[in-house]
Amino acid sequence: SRRRLPPQTWPDSINQANKLALLAWARDSGIDLVQVNGQRRYGGPPAGERRGLWGGLWGGSPGVHRAAGCPTGWVGDPPPPGTEVFIGKLPQDVYEDALIPLFQSVGKLYEFRLMMTFSGLNRGFAYAKYGSRRGARDAVASLNNFEVREGCAIVVRRSTEKRELSVDGLWAWLRPRELETVLRRATPGVLRLALHASPGHRRAQLAVVTYSSHQAAAMAKKTLMEGNTQLGGAEMTVEWLNPSLKQKLQLCKKPLPVQTQAQGDRSRCIPAQVPPAAGSSRQPPGALEQLQALCRRQRLGTPLFLTRCLRAQPDGWLQLWCRVLIPGCPVPFSTVAWVRQDAPGSSWHEEAKAAVALQLLPLLGES
């Protein structure tokens, strides 16, 4: 009968001989391999704390060590675009002890990344980045269709190195500077971004975000898809930027209808507002309750309202600056609202909350 292995040991039992050969090769050659987020890396830019090869690389508890610099001996800025190659059709039990010497034989490596499964097999593909474009050209010319094992020819071609993501379904009140601050904190490597009206969602925005490298963009895509950064509703999507979509956005640029109002040393982008005509400032009943219910459904937390009076009109109208802080949204919503100072049955703070809720509901996708 087949004996069931304990859960913590089953990855170690897969392809054990080749794993032991890799460990011996890494120890003897002094090669530093780093396991991070489903890929194992050799070389690349210096990092702070890394998952080490010797601390449970095959599914155990990861060790952490501090890297002093690039293991390949690279000095200076990373290589320019066009220096990376894609390697496909790899046998899943082939590791760096066979692949790194092979790809080093045609040029100086800056970085080598092997995509890994939890069990310790490779996922059938890897990336090699060279110190120059010539190294990448030589790798394609020499190693495409090379048999790493009898009957197992690999594919080597120039990597596309995509660096642009499209993030659709963003909150309509997000502004470029605010969004950039959040993205830089959550996803390192942001170079620039642009906001557009979403072509597929009403009352939503689409951001085109450019990263410093393909690896930075890929890691950002993974982070944003995990949903820990609340930037939009349930329909927010993160994709590689499609060339046809990029062309469409470039042809259909439309400025957002906002004005900037200075507040001391800071500028806030707020929707254009004018004092209401004579009459009541009372909002349709239930706007605030609808907003609170919507936040509960989307698990965003209870909204917190901050208000400040900007000016008072002789006819009794108050212009208020309002900010709504929603715990599940990293960026607050700021606007102005007009309320009557003598509004019956409620304070001007409560009137302002209802007025802002009425503005915020459509931006969150509620009619």
pLDDT digits (tens, 9 = 90+) for 21-65: 888 888 888 888 888 768 899 987 655 434 444 344 544 433 333
User: What is the chain's length?
Assistant: 367
| 50 domain residue, yes or no | no
Question: Is the pLDDT at 256 greater than 50, yes or no?
Answer: no
Residues 23 and 143 in one domain: yes
pLDDT of residue 143: 96
pLDDT digits (tens, 9 = 90+) for 175-216: 888 888 888 888 888 988 998 888 877 778 889 999 988 878
Global confidence as pTM: 0.51
| 257 domain residue, yes or no | no
| 66 domain residue, yes or no | no
Q: pLDDT band for position 166 (50/70/90)?
A: very high
As for how many domains the chain has, the answer is 3
| Residue that wins the pLDDT comparison between 254 and 98 | 98
Residues 110 and 186 in one domain: no
Query: Which residues have CB under 8 Å from 316's CB, separation 6+?
Result: 340, 341, 342
Residues 129 and 170 in one domain: no
CATH number of the domain that residue 184 is part of: 3.30.70.330
Question: Is the pLDDT at 5 greater than 80, yes or no?
Answer: no
Of the residues 158, 185, 203, the one at which a domain ends:
158
Which whole number is the average pLDDT over 313-335? 76
pLDDT of residue 137: 95
Residues 130 and 26 in one domain: yes
Residues 27 and 83 in one domain: yes
Q: E strand or H helix at 182, and its extent? A: helix 176-186
Query: Which residues have CB under 8 Å from 331's CB, separation 6+?
Result: 171, 173, 174, 175, 178, 179, 182, 231
Which whole number is the average pLDDT over 127-136? 94
pLDDT of residue 62: 38
| Residue that wins the pLDDT comparison between 191 and 268 | 191
Residues 149 and 169 in one domain: no
Other CB atoms within a 10 A radius of the CB of residue 75 amount to 6
Q: pLDDT band for position 366 (50/70/90)?
A: low
User: What's the mean per-residue pLDDT of the chain?
Assistant: 76
Distance CA 331, CA 346 (A): 29
| 57 domain residue, yes or no | no
Angle at 39 (CA atoms; ends 36, 42), nearest 5 degrees: 85
Query: Which residues have CB under 8 Å from 194's CB, separation 6+?
Result: 176, 207, 208, 249
| 242 domain residue, yes or no | yes
Q: pLDDT band for position 294 (50/70/90)?
A: confident
Domain ranges, residue 312: 284-364
Q: Read off the tokens for 306.
A: 């901050």
| 97 domain residue, yes or no | yes
CATH number of the domain that residue 309 is part of: 3.30.160
| 107 domain residue, yes or no | yes
